[in-house]
Amino acid sequence: MERDSVVNPYEVKGNIDYEEIAKRFGVNLIDEALKERIKRLAGGELHFMIRRGIYYAQRDMNWLLDEYEKGNKFYLYTGIGPSGTMTLGHLIPFALTQWFQEKFDAEVYIQIPDEEKFLVKKKSDLTLEKTHELAYDDVANIIAMGFKKGKTKIFLDTEYAKTLYKNAVRVSRGITFSMIKDAFGFTVEDNIGKIFYTSMQAVPAFLMSVEKGKNIPCLIPLAIDQDVHFRIARDSIAKLGYYKPASIQSKFLPGLSGKPKMSASDPSDTLYLNDDDETVRKKVFKAFTGQQPTAELQKKHGGNPEICTVCQYYRFFFEDDDTRLKKIFDAERSGSILAGEHKQDLYERITKYLAGQRQKKEKALERMDDFIVRD
């Protein structure tokens, strides 16, 4: 059967129906009861990305919280494969991971697989030296998100290989080529590094259990496309005697052109963390709003905030207050505010945010060794 969308870590295309993908992947939608439970255990507050359904699906969250309530604390794991400057969309898993760390006083493992995009991307200028260099830039941006020193370990695959490889080999034994081929659409022409890579990504999901010599629950915040690696590795992890990881899956930040996923390789569609103000202005003012062709018509008929990227950027990032967000959406729907005004305001919020992030990143550069582990 031809599906109208492809979603896996190396390809996202077509019309994305998030509920259908959840079904296809076998993950559960996050329901109100689970939201309430997370909120209660987090001390009465729920991260806006969960509240708004940006994080919309999960595996084994209720089990994880059962364990937590029994006193069996969990750790968190997420990561990023360096391929260029980090984008706004890349921050989504780190924002939630940081929130969980704070609310649940959890330890965090962050993997920087600096071999992944080297293996996967066809661009010949993305050498292993280049991805390694980019990895350090990513680490600084990640530390800037507010992770706790002493409770956060960050590692590059090429620098933590002794620890990671040993365990990757063990997981890889329970994963067949056929599983990988089906999940990623690989053919016999694909390089063999890509085939093995899933086992590297699986390791931090049980690494703390290996280190502590007893099972520790793990929670992985991630974008839905990354679920594929863990779905494949789950049974193999369990066969080794470790807990299968719990996970919480997000939707994608839409591209500025209205594409369902911001793509790190298309500059006009994407906001990079190092975009200067003028670049941000140009991109935001060109962004797709889905508004009526003229101001007249917009005032008369209004627009659709669900497809307006400007509205979606408020929803994903730049307005965490639900009442104020509703006002923005209502104004868009009724046509009482025109795109130019929204764009100007959004532009200001983005540049302010990016300036703050860059300032924190500068400070983070001095604290890299408080976080990075090597072996």
Residues that bind ligand TRP (CB under 6 A): 9, 77-81, 93, 111, 113, 116, 201, 220, 222, 226
| Strand, coil or helix: 49 | helix
Indicate the DSSP class of residue 268. Answer: G
Least Å from the CB of residue 221 to ligand TRP:
7
Instruction: Tell me the Cα Rg of the chain.
Output: 21
Least Å from the CB of residue 315 to ligand TRP:
22
Please identify, using beta-carbon distances, which residue of 134 and 325 lies nearer to ligand TRP: 134
Long-range contact list for 170-177, CB < 8 A, 24+ apart? Answer: 170/240, 171/199, 171/202, 171/203, 171/233, 171/236, 171/237, 171/240, 172/196, 172/199, 172/236, 173/236, 174/235, 174/236, 174/239, 174/240, 175/199, 175/232, 175/233, 175/236
Least Å from the CB of residue 176 to ligand TRP:
20
Please identify, using beta-carbon distances, which residue of 46 and 264 lies nearer to ligand TRP: 264
Tokens 């868009």 found at: 332
Please identify, using beta-carbon distances, which residue of 179 and 307 lies nearer to ligand TRP: 179
Q: Is there a contact between 8 and 184 (Cβ–Cβ < 8 Å)?
A: yes
Least Å from the CB of residue 58 to ligand TRP:
14
Please identify, using beta-carbon distances, which residue of 136 and 285 lies nearer to ligand TRP: 136
Of all residues in the shown chain, the one whose CB is closest to ligand TRP is 79
Least Å from the CB of residue 99 to ligand TRP:
16
Please identify, using beta-carbon distances, which residue of 201 and 351 lies nearer to ligand TRP: 201
Please identify, using beta-carbon distances, which residue of 111 and 309 lies nearer to ligand TRP: 111
Alpha carbon distances (Å) from 93 to 219, 222, 224, 250, 282: 12, 5, 11, 8, 27
